[in-house]
Amino acid sequence: MLFLVWVVVCALWPLAPRSLTAQTPGFLTNDHWSRAALHRLAVNGQLPAAVASLSWPARRSEVQTWLDSAQNAADTSESATRRLHVLRSVLNSEQRSQRIRAGLAAGALSSAGALRAGTMERVPEGFRYPGPVASPNEQLTLLRAELYAALTGNLEVGTQGRLRGSDAELESAVLAGQFSILEAWIGRRSLALGNAPADGLVLNQITLDGGGLSVRRGVRVPWLGRIHPELTLARMARSGAVEHPWFHSGRITIAPSSALAIGLNRAAIFGGENHIGITPLRVLLMLLGRPDIEGKDSDFENQVASIDVFWRTRLGGLPVALHAEAGADDAGYAFLRVPGVIAGVELGELPALPALGLGLEVVHIARRCCSYPPWYQHGGLADGWTDRGRLLGHPLGGAGTELATHWRVETAQTPVLAAGRIYLRERDRENLLAPLRQGRSAGGRLDLVVPWRRTQMQLRANAEWGSGWQSSDLTFLGQLYFE
C-alpha cells in the first residue's frame, strides 16, 4: 500500500507547486503545546482535519503557517480569534529570527513508582512474560540546551541535548530539507503517529536514529482528495538479545474534505544482528501483513497497525469532532479477533466558557485469542512493543480498558495554556504492566505553559493510583529563548 502511494506521489510530482517559503528553523517536540492547540483548532473548524492527523514532531515554520491559515478561517468567533492571537504571540515569543534559534532551560524532575516492561523469556512451551521491572525513584536537576539554524532557504539543522542529573543525553540532532513537495530528514529525532488528542495505539513516542521522507503538504489524488504520505527507516539499540534491529514506520493521511481525515498507520521492528536475516522476500511479506508463512517466520518482525478517523461537524451551533482508531498487534485477521479500539468525542468550546474545550474517550484492547499473541508482547524480539522497556504504544500497556475525560484551556486575555486528563483504567493480566499494575486504577495528567516575553515556564505532572500502589512524575522547567 505504501509503495503504491509513493508511485502516485511521484506521478503527480510535476503538478506540484515549486515555490519555497522562507523557513523558520527547528522542529517542535511531540509534547510541545502547539500540538494540542492545533488539534483544537481543527475541532473548531479553523484548520483542516488533516492537520490533526499528521505525525509529530512538526517544523516550526509549518506550525506558523497553520496558525496564519487559522486566522483567515471564515465564521470564526471573536473569542476564537482572540485565543488564536495568543497562540501566535506565544509561538513568536519563542523565536522571531528567520535564521537561528537557541534556548536554555533549567528545572527539576521527580519520579516515583515508575515501571518498565520486562523481557520475554524462552521456556519449553515457547515464551513467557515475567512481568514489568520497577524503575528507581528519582529526584534530579534538569538542564537542556537547543540550537537550530537555517542553512539555506530549504535546508536546516538542529540539535537538542539535556543533562539529567549526572547523565548527559543527545535528544535530537537533525538535518532536514524541503525540496518542492518532498521533505526529508536524517539524524536523531522523536516520532509520534495518530490523530488522538492524547495517546494512540501504534506509536506515541520513540527516539530514532535514521531518516525519513514525507509529503506534509500533500498531493491531490482523484477520488481520494488530498493525501499526505510519511515514511521512516531507522535502527534501534536492541530488543531483548537482538542487537540493532531495524525500525520502519509509515502513515498515510487521506483527506477527502476539510472536515474528514483518515489515517493508515503501520510500524514494525524487524531483523537485527544475531537474528533472522533480512531478505527482500521477508520484507515484502512483512509489508503485505503476512506474519507467519513459508519463507518468513513470525519472529522476524513485531508490527502494530491501525486505521484512524477524524471527523468534525457542528451540533446545535457547537463545534464537535469524533475520532476513532482500530488497531491490530500483528496482522492478518487480528483486526477482527484481537482488536484495539479508541473512540472519542470532543467539544471545541462551550457556550458559557469558550476558553474551555472538553472531550470524552474510551479505549479497549482485547485479550489474546486464537493463535495471536497478547498485545505489545513478542517472543523473537523479546522486548515487545517497547524501546528497552519504554512503552511505544498506548500507556494502558496492553489488554484492558480506559475511560477518560480531557480538557484544554486557552485564555483570550493572558497567554496561559493549560490541559489535563483524568482517567479510570482496568488492566488485564495479559498486559505489559501486569501483574504489578493489574486491576483497577485512577489517574490524571496536567500540562501548564506560562510564557512571559522571552521566557517560558512549563509544568508537567502525572499520577496514577491503584490497589496498594501509586506512581507519579513531575517536571518543572524554566526556558529562556535568545537569538
Give the integer Cα–Cα distance in Å for 311 and 324: 9
Domain ranges of the chain: 2-482
Mean pLDDT calculated for residue range 124-142: 90
Give the integer Cα–Cα distance in Å for 59 and 56: 9
Place of cell 539554524: 149
Give the lowest-confidence range in 20-29, 89-98, 238-247.
20-29
pLDDT at 333: 75
Tell me what percent of the residues of the chain surpass a pLDDT of 70.
91
- Do 382 and 241 form a contact (C-beta atoms < 8 A)? yes
pLDDT at 105: 92
C-alpha cell at 263: 489515517
Residue 414 phi/psi, 5° resolution?
A: -120, 145
Measured in residues, the chain has a length of 483
Looking at the predicted structure, is the pLDDT value of residue 414 above 50?
yes
Give the integer Cα–Cα distance in Å for 303 and 438: 24
pLDDT at 304: 93
C-alpha cell at 296: 518468513
Looking at the predicted structure, is the pLDDT value of residue 81 above 90?
no
Which pLDDT band holds residue 2 (cuts at 50, 70, 90)? very low
Looking at the predicted structure, is the pLDDT value of residue 3 above 50?
no
Mean pLDDT calculated for residue range 66-81: 77
pLDDT at 295: 63
Mean pLDDT calculated for residue range 2-19: 38
Mean pLDDT calculated for residue range 49-73: 87
Q: Is the peptide bond before 435 cis (omega within 30 degrees of 0)?
A: yes
Looking at the predicted structure, is the pLDDT value of residue 350 above 80?
yes
Mean pLDDT calculated for residue range 219-238: 93
pLDDT at 297: 67
pLDDT at 463: 97
Looking at the predicted structure, is the pLDDT value of residue 54 above 50?
yes
C-alpha cell at 216: 506534509
Top-confidence residue, 278 or 365? 365
pLDDT at 451: 86
The HSE-up count of residue 299 (CA atoms within 13 Å, CB side) is 15
Place of cell 521456556: 123
Of the candidates 304, 228, 230, the residue with the CA atom closest to the CA atom of residue 261? 228
Mean pLDDT in the chain? 86
Please list, in sequence order, all residues whose beta carbon lies within 8 angstroms of the beta carbon of residue 155, skipping any fewer than 6 positions away.
175, 176, 177
pLDDT at 299: 78
Mean pLDDT calculated for residue range 310-320: 90
**Distance from the Cα of residue 125 to its chain's centroid:** 36
Mean pLDDT calculated for residue range 356-373: 90
Looking at the predicted structure, is the pLDDT value of residue 5 above 50?
no
SS3 content of the chain, % helix, strand, coil (to 5): 15, 50, 35
Please list, in sequence order, all residues whose beta carbon lies within 8 angstroms of the beta carbon of residue 147, skipping any fewer than 6 positions away.
100, 101, 102, 103, 158, 159, 160
Please list, in sequence order, all residues whose beta carbon lies within 8 angstroms of the beta carbon of residue 4, skipping any fewer than 6 positions away.
none
Cα torsion angle, 120, 427, 444, 448, sign: positive
CATH fold group of domain 2-482: Porin (2.40.160)
pLDDT at 98: 62
**Taking the model in full, what pTM does it have?**
0.89
